[in-house]
Amino acid sequence: MEMSVADLASHVRREFSKIIVGQNEALDQLLLVVLARGHALVEGVPGLAKTLAVKSLAHIFRLQFQRVQCTPDLIPADILGGNIFEPAAGTFRIHRGPIFTDLLLVDEINRMPPRTQSALLEAMEELQVTMDGTTHPLPRTFTVFATQNPVEFEGTYPLPEAQLDRFLMKIRVEYPQVAQETEILSRYQDGFEARSFERVQIEPLPDDALQSAREECARVRVEPKLLDYIVSIVRATRNSPAVSLGASPRAAISLMLVGKAIAAIEGRDFLIPDDVKSAAPPILRHRMLLKPEADLEGITADQVVAEVLAGTAVPQ
């Protein structure tokens, strides 16, 4: 019997809770990224289990996982791979880089030089890698989770707006609550180790679960008035007095796709305005360029999104 998206989400949440304490909103958003066939920026200070969360997601879905630690001297071949000459055979052999995986964690993407960033983002967009004129397809499940440290800017290369727009969502990972932090210590005291989390009895999903879930999300109905609502929200970001560059049409597509995934998780085959409202902050927060004076006043992108939602008429 085929598993519904609602049942799949319940399963993923249950298995996550065996490994990760708290972070429910961020973990749900990781799942939404995979269901909506996108990529995500994951922002949070070091030590908040971002790597562990993505590794756990790969384990639950039976997907391959690779991690790249970004440094200023990283070149495209370090990620993509290349052709290596083997003198004994007198031939070239393809060396596939870490990008040839299902879930790729790119740690501290803003430490990666612009040329390497561009190579990665091209592969994300095209789902293929070109080496010496030959094209190599990436898996259909290929998903990039790129982390950023929100407080460390020295020696970094911030992503340009055009490249930020290619990420479906920007996920914020916050500090845990007091009780959650105590629970983390308790688990480690009882023998849990992030390095060997595989010893936790995780129940993986069936191999075809992800593809079935994606198909179910795609079948979610969207009424014309909801399409108008999504467009109104995106266009309102362009007219905000705090914003110098508003969200693009790609943001509207992302709002619809993630909204449909939220509806499916909720057990519905139709989109409602609340699905769009839930999707809006992680979809829009990295797609707007605030004016310098708004930055000085301490206005955040999330505040702008909240104002836009409050000022946009909700369809009945």
Domain ranges in the chain?
5-196, 219-311
Note the residue count of the chain. 316
What's the whole-number mean pLDDT along residues 104-122? 87
Q: What is the pLDDT of residue 245?
A: 85
**Residue environment code for 10-46, b if the CB has 16+ CB neighbours within 10 A, otherwise e:** ebbeebbebbbbbbeebbbbbbbbbbbbbbbbbbbee
Sheet holding 103-107, edge to edge: 65-69, 103-107, 143-148, 40-43, 169-172
Q: Compute the radius of gyration of the chain from its Cα atoms.
A: 20
CA 167 vs CA 7, 37, 42, 78, 234: distances in Å: 27, 11, 10, 21, 16
More confident residue, 264 or 202: 264
Q: What is the pLDDT of residue 254?
A: 95
Least-confidence region, from 9-18, 44-53, 86-95: 86-95
Cβ atoms < 10 Å from Cβ of 214:
19
Please name the residue ranges forming H helices in 207-316.
209-218, 224-239, 249-265, 273-284, 292-296, 301-311
Calpha distance 125→138 (Å, rounded): 11
| Best CA proximity match to 127, nearest among 102, 164, 161 | 102
Calpha distance 85→232 (Å, rounded): 55
Residue 309, exposed/middle/buried by CB under 10 A (0-12, 13-18, 19+)? Answer: middle
CATH classification of 219-311, choosing from 1.10.8.80, 1.10.1040.10, 2.40.30.130, 1.10.3720.10? 1.10.8.80
How does residue 155 score in pLDDT terms, banded at 50, 70 and 90? low
Domain 5-196, architecture per CATH = 3-Layer(aba) Sandwich (3.40)
- The model's pTM is 0.88
